[in-house]
Structure 1
Amino acid sequence: MHPRREVFTAAAPAPWQRAAVGANLLGPDGGLGVTIFEEMTTLALQTGAINLGQGFPDEDGPAEIKAAAQAAIAAGANQYAPGKGILELREAVSVHQHRFYGLAPDPQTEVLVTTGATEGIAASLLAFTGPGDEVLTFEPFYDSYGAVIGLSGATHVTAPLLAPDFFPDMDALEAAFSDRTRVVLLNNPHNPTGAVFPRRVLERVVELARQHDCLIITDEVYEHLTFGVSHVPVASLPGAADRTVTISSAGKTFSFTGWKIGWLTGPEGLVSAIRTVKQFLTYSSGTPFQAAIAAGLALPDEFYEGISAGLRHKRDILSEGLRAAGFDVFTPQGTYFVNVDTAPLGISDSVDLARRLPALVGVAAIPVPVFCHPQGAERTRSLLRFAFCKKVEVLEEAATRLAALSGKL
């Protein structure tokens, strides 16, 4: 039997309601809820729990990047940056793409600086999609994808990622495409699962995108956070460059998530279209931080290798505690998230456990079903996501607390 397409349309009267439905924030009664991140953070504060829910580091990135930002502020780089971003950063992005992947986007016409990757994704989707179009993502998906797809008026179609490796079922992926598919929005390395998709999966996505004549927008913010596998940019694959927009940011690589410096690269025509939308969102932002990130992108290979090695060590510390707790642990190949299955503990409802976990053992996590539409939520009902982008001593304490879970249930 051919797999059934998983289609979700945020049918709501107002744009903000479509955005809320797309991100699972609007209840059946029409009431507006809070994000799961806000809910879990509130519970962590109330109970004094270690917050391994929202994915942000608890320590700053390299001192030389902070010093570069301070120097830029002192030098007067405090007014609007050009709408495209300062040339220094656009050139640094181009050099970075060539250095690591052999790509050579023109910094004048094929690079655009954005207010974080989130704005780059939003501007791209709003530039190219609308009512009658379909946007295809993997599921689970980062919540802002559903929100912006809903805001655009397009229909959200998903292809499931399946445990234990969280790669897509290829038949289901093929079935998810249609003659209405306008954009494939691909996140690799993948949040929330931690999967790093192999070349064969990415090549099939490109092949299907060409068959259906649709664009590929790739969110590659975790490009340097991989463990034992190499990141393959979609734009580097045969037949992909002319239809691919690649998005990344400084927040994950350099641990400066509050600076909100992102960028995208792609063919001139696509980048120009996105810039047309982006200039009426923020126009520009973070002038001194742009200069600092330009300096950061030029850091030596040892820095990038150190990011991966340090996070891998943290992953293993937390994973040991999760196994001791009795969870089935899915070891990630990238990002800074590890997913577990609660079923071995006799628990099938991860949302309920996430709400109880801070009081039970003093650790907060995020239930994976919140990253899904109803059908996918049922499929991932027993999965929890933990972030390991924290100090080693914090993760060691979290691991100790988690190891005591089975005795408290």
Structure 2
Amino acid sequence: MPISTDMAEDVAAAVSTLYEQAELALIEKVTTALAQGFDSPLWAELKLAAVGNLRTAIEEIIAVLQVDAAGAIHTAVAEAYERGQQAAVAELGALAVGQAAAAATALPTASVVDRLAAALVQETGATHLRILRAGLDVYRQVVAEASAAPLLGVQTRRQAASRALAKFSARGVTGFVDKSGRAWNLTSYTEMATRSAVGRAAVQAHTDRLAAAGVDLVVVSDSPEECERCRPWEGKVLRREGPAGAGTVEVEHATEDDRMVRVRVAGSLDEARGAGLMHPNCRHRLSAYLPGLTRPAGPKADRSRATYEQSQQQRYLERQVRRWKREAAGAIDDDKKAAANAKVRAYQSRIRDLVAETGLSRKSRREQLARAR
């Protein structure tokens, strides 16, 4: 069975859900803390005096998240690695007994899984301090803006607080920048990081099994909705490991001893991945390339009429649905909540139109918010 980075997308969702739950819990804690005692003339003084209580509440959210996330990450990486191994075993199962048996031989995987999981725990763990700071910062900001509003005669204290909370709920916990300089909020960042990690685990497990079977070449599928980074590698044969650069190699036929076959190789797998192949949203799959047996890819699957740009437009609309759902969850008055829910329906309508136009499949899970614990 060919391998792709989306093979373990469902197990990655379990991790990102925990962070979304934490983000929603944070919004609810801050909103509830600020909404209490709005009519008191001492509201600002009482709120500032209660900062310590809010800090404790947020630290409790983070403590639970640290424990739950570490376990979920290890489980997700282990499951992704196992799926990658099984995909290789299934793919080579129809070959000669020797190669199939070699692929099925148990490999020591614990250290590999532990290493991949530890790297992801460290990456996502760095977000925890930001959760605390974001919660306390927005709390103090709301108190300051709401206290100043009546003095300026512009709006009431409740309106000022509602506006500041709406901004926070819409953007969530922010301040995370990836290696390319792109900014993310907490949930999107952890989703990206986790999907990337479990995708790497599945691909590594697949290639580890191919190595055990003595398979040195892989071929990239010709897939729909490809992006510009991946397109140059479609249908190309790659070295599983070894030097970068294209060239022609002479290798033994997959099933006929002493028969040599010349194969045009586009480069190494590491080279292709470094150029963008197998990124988190990549649709391409890797298969074992069997000299003398593997045939060129056939016509591209007509799974949808969509382009890569349209698939990314769908992801943008999904993020907007979640954004306005967060804002509705953090609203402290009915008008704000109703307006946010209207935005949710508007973006969902745009998703329905896009799906109907392009043939993309609608993934309702990506429009949902996890329940805050």
TM-score (norm: length of structure 1) = 0.24
Structure showing greater radius of gyration is 2
Please state which structure has a larger fraction of its residues in helix: 2
Q: Please give the TM-score of this superposition, normalised by the length of structure 2.
A: 0.25
Higher share in strand:
1
